[in-house]
Structure 1
Amino acid sequence: MRLTDTSDLWWKTAIFYNLDVKTFLDWNDDGIGDFQGVAHRLDHLAELGVTCLWLAPFYTSPRRDNGYDISDYYGVDSRYGHFGDFIELVRTAKDRGMRVIVDLVVNHTSDQHPWFQAARNDRTSRFREFYQWRDDEPAEQPQNLFPDVEDGVWFWDDVAGQYYRHTFYRHQPDLATDTQVVRDEIAKVIGFWLQLGIDGFRVDAVPYLIDTEDGAEHEYLRAIRRFVSRRNGTGVLLGEVNLPYDEQLKFFGDADGDELTMQFDFVANQRLYLALARGDAAPLTEALLARPALARGNQWGNFVRNHDELTLDQLSESERAEVFEAFAPEEGQRIHGRGIVRRLPPMLDGDPRHIRMVYSLLFSLPGSPVLYYGEEIGMGEEPSITRSRAAVRTAMQWSPDANGGFSNAAAEALVPVVVSGGNSPEHVNVSQQRHDPTSLLSFIKRLTTAYRGAPEIGWGTFAVLDQPHTSVLAHSIESELGLFVAAHNFAPDGRSFTLAIDGAGDDWLVVDMLSDDPAPRPLADAQLSVDLGGYGYQWWRVVRPGEKRLL
């Protein structure tokens, strides 16, 4: 494959950054982040190396579920600004070399959406068929996605005189996405935002897109993919599909990958935390080896943390208990019986070696890295917010000033701010770290630079390399673009070993990509001598004779 063949598949080597406008920067000092605030911090993201900005829902909403309860798909929340501000944000991002994707949340609407209000008030309304109704609650029904909050998926509505279905919260009635009339409306929504210049969508809760067991969701995903491709030939669909690999693979589509373009790798993410809890790389290694092969245009999205709870639902009960004991020993740090409401640095007791090893691993795995805002500086959660996703949805920490430089508003008007101990803005902020070459922010910038200089990470073939330590994951990624090798130690004490590079000759060179002295050196005896400290990590580029690579 030649680079000229890959220009339309930008997501294969993209660096994604997810933020919520509400918590990023408050430009007008009303206590809530806004589009202008994000626009004024795009240079920070450009310097960080971000190539695609993913905006969490900013649509008109009662915000009972962090904006995922949408009451107008064609509107923007007035607290964040107006459409002119949004368009300026997209334009400015593109000026900085960043694409922009937004959330597509079409499993359900808010119960305040005009469609639902019309449907519940008039059985003859054309919007009645937009939702799912029945006269009697079924004796058997699937478990709600929030079993500690909702006791089923059907809720009686006095106004409508019927039960309506809600897979999520009761204030989020499910759309009847199996009907053509609803699909036509969704197509209009997709076309509207593409016309405004966005580059695709992060698709929410894909397995619940249609409530059938006959594969109809795949037919619908193919239709969405075709529509996006017609409107924007390089548009991406990044899907949230938290399922085992064999089931997840189906949502990529056929052999040509004609459904979702990308999917988050929830399996590897959950096995990563089991590996961290054990100090043993084996759980993650097993997951990576079990990854199914993808079509050329598809990609995995790798992540350490996201905006929801750290879900552990694909681990066994005993494995989940291990992770809870290691990283969420208090009940208030857990939610829904399956997840953790903490960020990574506090879970690792703030150990900079451990934290950096995890992010080095993130950028070295085959696929595209996805960062959640604040990860680049090691933000923690606010521990006083218990049993709630809001604990990891606090204001971005820009400076050591009041409210972390997020806003000058009075405390009672603010979104949540971290105020506890060593995670507060006084200790963790962008301003101090951007001037410190030893900071986590500087380290993440080094990783993004190295990742962008090694396209084989996004394109190549993954292999685990033999070495004697279960605490170590050593792997290679090879393509016609080059050969990349990395090693990561999950143990607190050091490990030494050699790695054989098959087929290498004495005229091959090796470059230590994260070293302060990256001068090429001969690859003696086709082997790499590796000496990892506790929670150590290393990246190498192995250069074949005649390769035209920047070293």
Structure 2
Amino acid sequence: MDKHWWQEAVVYQVYPRSFQDSNDDGIGDLEGVRQRLDYIKKLGADVIWLNPIYRSPNDDNGYDISNYESIMPDFGTMADFDKLLKDAHAKGLKIVMDLVVNHTSDEHHWFMESRKSRDNAYRDYYIWQDPVDGHAPNDWQSSFSGSAWQLDETTGQYYLHLFSKKQPDLNWRNTKVRKSIYDMMTWWLDKGIDGFRMDVINLISKTKDFAPSAAHPVPRRPANGPHVHEYLQEMNKQVLSKYDIMTVGETPSVHPKDALQYAGFNTHELDMVFQFEHMGIDSDKELGKWRPQPWQLSQLKTIMSKWQTELNGQAWNSLYWNNHDQPRVVSRFGNDTPEFRERSAKMLGAVLHFQQGTPYIYQGEEIGMTNVASFNSIEDYRDIETLNAYRELVEEKKVLTHPEMMAAIHHSSRDNARTPMQWDNSVNAGFAPEGVDPWIAVNANFDTVNVKAALADPNSVFYFYQKMNELRKQYPIITYGDYTLLAPEDEQTWTYTRQLDGQTLKLTANFTKEAVTRDEAAELPDSQLILSNYDDDQGKQLRAYEVKVYLTK
């Protein structure tokens, strides 16, 4: 396989609204990101992925775009972006933008024209259907609760929105839509950005027949549609292949066989995808994440190991525990109590970062930020998905009680990841000055969990992540080695090996707070311990949340 810079890179994801407020309005901004570039560089990251910064009414925190070539005033100006890009490049950091082209805002010029009349020139930029027996065309559901169809009174037709009703889906069958999108992508790439993270990119192709499912069974959400690969190959040929960039597609409802097509080394589509199989192991079959279930380590290992082995040599993995849509991993798969938070955060980091693929670090993960236990009212939340789910499941359908739903929100809400970055122990955690209310409240544990404390402690989670990033640049086996899972049925420990050019790396991790003894935990012959979250090595014994990484000499 050809080697590419993005395989050896470490990506740091920045959620600009919550990263750093530079102008005292309680909202993070581009200048705030620019002020923190040295911090990201110190961590050892190579690429910054920015969540959407385009002009938007902000119905879904910027994922409803009204102008792709303009900056949301909350975040600053295009001059601020140009300054950020220039400074990042000067420090050897690349910038990857979020590309949201499954849908736009209903305030985008295209949609405002589209809804004026059935014969408007932009009508076919979106997906319009006649009512069926006075109802929506079919039973597709929005990801944000309710029907995926909205009746437009002016023209008497429904438009499709797989997300908020303020996020109408684009009609990718229309060649003009595709050309408009490719032109916009080219405009950004000519500016000098280093790639795209593509939001729900495998939802862009819809079936042509929207008949109700009684007549024609249809999926509740149309992932991996009939023309998606054709569109992505066209996008690659017309835009992506002309630049030395990185692309990653967010692709819900994919399996490794799908990823081999989306991200195969020879399929000319994307460089890698984000899959969600491992993110669903604590979900309920009926209510999904709003009724969290106990999870099993063996299941987590099986899923992630399957992706390691089935993509090996044919496509590239992306490695992530956290992002702006997921709860904090240390609260989810680790232990966020004061006694074990740092130890388990390091363990989880190592288990992920020593697998094959490009690792993604979400802001605050590198200091062990946790879920928000301090939000006790639904009024504390800002996320449209969370608020809609509360209204639907508690107030309308009464499927869950208020306490049940709040427990689920504490576990699963996207706002767990969106509270302000915890820079220090001053008011507002250094995100915004005293006297300014942040757009969403700060997690109450900022007085102990913060960057300032982490940088002052040589044993902090931050320096552990920094060391992992250094090791990745030092040893090609971490990037390219073949992966083998050991003891797959073990519910307490995760052990795997990596092999490349006669060298072996072995990682073993204890996912519990109990000490366990395992033969797999012993040192490899003729090897050295290159990383651990304890100061000494007790051979076959693994202490609470202990992780050890051995490498043959």
Indicate conservation of the 8 Å contact 2:330/2:348, yes or no.
no
Q: Which residue of 2 aligns with 1:389?
A: 414
Shift, 1:253, TM fit: 5.4
Match for residue 418 of structure 1? 442
Instruction: Say if 2:229 is the partner of 1:218.
Output: yes
The 1-side partners of 2:225 and 2:518 are apart by 51
Q: Which amino acid aligns with 1:495?
A: V
Report the CA distance between 1:470 and its aligned residue: 4.1
Q: 1:158 to 1:415 in 2, by over 3 A?
A: same
Tell me which of 84, 87, 91 is aligned to 1:92. Answer: 87
1:299 to 292, 302, 316: 316
Q: 2:17 aligns with which of 19, 22, 29?
A: 22
Structure-2 change in CA distance of 1:71 and 1:501 (3 Å): same
Partner of 1:325: none
Identity %: 30
Q: What does residue 364 of structure 2 align with?
A: 374
CA shift digits 1:37-91 (9 cap, x unpaired):
1011010000111111000000000001010000001111122121121112112
Aligned residues: 490
Partner of 1:167: 162
Q: Paired residue for 2:513, among 480, 492, 514?
A: 492
Which of 436, 444, 454 is residue 457 of structure 2 equivalent to? 436
1:145 to 127, 142, 145: 142
Give 2:352's aligned residue: 362
**Counterpart residue type for residue 363 of structure 1:** H
Aligned residue among 180, 194, 197 for 1:202: 197
Confirm or deny that 1:282 pairs with 2:303: no
Structure 2 residue 80 is the aligned partner of structure 1 residue 80: no
After TM superposition, give the deviation of residue 491 of structure 1 in Å. 2.5
Task: Find the counterpart in structure 2 of residue 349 from structure 1.
Answer: 337
SS in 2 for 1:299: coil
State the Cα distance separating 1:458 from its structure 2 match: 2.1
SS of residue paired to 2:519:
strand
Relative distance call for 1:159 and 1:390 in structure 2 (3 A) is farther
Contact 1:341–1:391 at 8 Å: present in 2 too? no
Q: 1:264 to 1:436 in 2, by over 3 A?
A: same
Answer yes or no: is the 8 Å Cα contact 1:454–1:484 preserved in 2: no
Relative to structure 2, which stretch is displaced further, 205-214 or 182-191?
205-214
Deviation at 1:158, TM superposition (A): 1.8
Distance (whole Å) between structure 1 residues aligned to residue 206 and residue 311 of structure 2: 26
Asked whether the equivalents of residues 521 and 541 of structure 2 are also in contact (C-alpha less than 8 Å), the reply is no
Do the aligned partners of residues 398 and 251 (structure 1) sit closer, same or farther apart at CA in structure 2, a change above 3 Å counting? same
Relative to 1, partners in 2 of residues 1:130 and 1:280: Cα closer, same or farther, differing over 3 Å?
closer
Q: Is residue 2:528 matched to residue 1:511? A: yes
Q: How does 1:57-76 map to 2 (within 5 A)?
A: 57-76=52-71
| Cα distance between partner residues in 2 of 1:345 and 1:428 | 18
In 2, Cα distance between the equivalents of 1:345 and 1:463?
22
**Helix, strand or coil: the match of 1:398?**
coil
Equivalence for 1:407: 432
Matched letter for residue 85 of structure 2? V
Q: Is the 8 A contact 1:279 1:490 kept in 2?
A: no
Q: Distance in 2 between matches of 1:86 and 1:164?
A: 34
Q: 1:360 to 1:279 in 2, by over 3 A?
A: farther
Once the two structures are superposed, residues 389-429 of structure 1 have per-residue CA deviations (whole angstroms, 9 ceiling, x without a partner) of 334211111111111111126444x2213253xx2x22221
SS of alignment partner, residue 511 of structure 1: strand
Instruction: Give the match for residue 497 of structure 2.
Output: 476
Query: Residue 113 of structure 2 aligns with which residue?
Result: 118
State which of 169, 173, 197 in structure 2 corresponds to 1:178: 173
Instruction: Note the alpha carbon deviations across 1:266-319, whole angstroms, 9 max, x for none.
Output: 223445999x98786321222234225337573211111111145xxxxxxxxx
Say if 1:487 and 1:537, in contact at 8 Å, map to a contact too: yes
**1:108-128 deviations in whole A, cap 9, x for unaligned?**
110011111111124333211
| Residues 1:97 and 1:344: Cα distance change in structure 2 (over 3 Å) | farther
Shift of 1:211: 0.9
| Alignment partners' CA distance in 1, 2:471 and 2:317 | 19
Amino acid across the alignment from 2:140: Q
Q: 1:219 is matched by which residue type in structure 2? A: E
Distance in 2, Cα, partners of 1:536 & 1:277: 25
Question: How far apart, in 2, do the equivalents of 1:39 and 1:344 lie?
Answer: 31
Distance 1:466 1:419, change over 3 A: closer
SS at match of 1:32: coil
Distance 1:470 1:124, change over 3 A: closer
CA distance, structure 1, for counterparts of residue 170 and residue 296 of structure 2: 44
What's the C-alpha RMSD, in Å, of the aligned pairs?
3.2
**Structure 2 residue aligned with 1:398:** 423
The answer (yes or no) to whether the contact 2:129–2:159 under 8 Å persists in 1 is: yes
The equivalent of 1:535 in structure 2 is 545
- CA apart distance, 1:145: 3.5
Instruction: Find the residue that maps to 2:102 and give its secondary structure.
Output: coil
Find the aligned partners of 2:253 and 2:489 in 1 and give their Cα distance. Answer: 32
SS in structure 2 opposite 1:97?
A: coil
Q: Which runs of 5+ in 2 are unaligned?
A: 208-223, 285-291, 387-412
Distance 1:300 1:250 in 2: 10
Q: Which residue of 1 aligns with 2:410?
A: none
* SS class of match (1:57): coil
- Distance in 2 separating the partners of 1:128 and 1:457: 50
Cα distance in 2 for partners of 1:216, 1:488 equals: 42
Q: Which is worse superposed, 238-247 or 94-103?
A: 238-247
1:315 alignment partner in structure 2: none
Other structure's SS at 2:150 match: strand
Q: 1:92 to 1:181 in 2, by over 3 A?
A: same
Query: Which secondary structure does the structure 2 equivalent of 1:513 belong to?
Result: strand
Distance 2:330 2:346 in 1: 17
Contact kept in structure 1, 2:29 and 2:75, CA below 8 Å? yes
TM-score, structure 2 length as denominator?
Answer: 0.81
Q: Are 1:59 and 1:77, in contact at CA under 8 Å, matched by a contact in 2?
A: yes
SS in structure 2 opposite 1:47?
helix
Q: State TM-score, norm by structure 1.
A: 0.81
Cα 1:269–1:447 shift into 2, 3 Å: farther
- Matched residues in 1 for 2:266 and 2:101: separation? 25
The 8 Å contact of residues 206 and 240 in structure 1, kept in 2 or not, is answered as yes
**Residue number in structure 2 paired with 1:335:** none
